[in-house]
Amino acid sequence: MKQQQLVAVAMAVLVLVLAGVVGGASAASCDVSQLAPCAPALSSGAAPTSACCSSLKAQRSCFCQYAKNPAYARYINSPNAKKIIASCGLTVPRC
């Protein structure tokens, strides 16, 4: 039975490792609520605040994930979002 337990533990570890690879390690740090400081600029087209730019820089590896999510895609792909990204010195990624 010890060998069966060892195999079960090894399989569990393998599943966790594969989930990390498939899901992406950065996926755990992607939190769209961290972009809240950008909401005023996104809705009005105003210049982004420094807090907004800091949030964008911290979440930039998540842009494609957000752009592919139907709940966020229209915001991420909007002209105002592109303007904000450029104003913060970032580039719009090609997903």
- Regarding whether 36 and 26 lie in a shared domain, the answer is no
What's residue 25's pLDDT?
39
Q: Do residues 70 and 46 both lie within one domain?
A: yes
Same domain, 51 and 93: yes
Domain identity same for 23 and 59: no
Under a CB-based contact definition with an 8 Å cutoff, are residues 15 and 23 in contact?
Answer: no
Give the span between the Cα atoms of 2 and 23, in whole angstroms. 31
Mean pLDDT in order along the chain per 10 residues (95 residues): 33 28 51 94 95 95 91 89 94 83
Residues 42 and 20 occupy one common structural domain = no
Asked whether residue 15 falls in the same domain as residue 3, the answer is yes
Per-residue b/e over 43-67, b at no fewer than 16 CB within 10 Å? Answer: eeeeebeeebbebbeebeebbebbb
Q: Which three-class secondary structure string do you get for 25-55?
A: HHHHHCCHHHHHHHHHHHHHCCCCCHHHHHH
Number of domains into which the chain is organized: 2
Q: Which residue has the tokens 């991420």?
A: 76
Does 46 share its domain with 78?
yes
Which pLDDT score is estimated for 28? 52
What per-residue confidence (pLDDT) applies to 95?
A: 83
Residue in this structure with the two tokens 């913060």, named with its chain if needed: 88
Model pLDDT, residue 56: 94
The one-letter code for the residue type at 18 is L
- pLDDT computed for residue 59 by the predictor: 94
Residue range(s) defining the domain that contains residue 3:
1-30
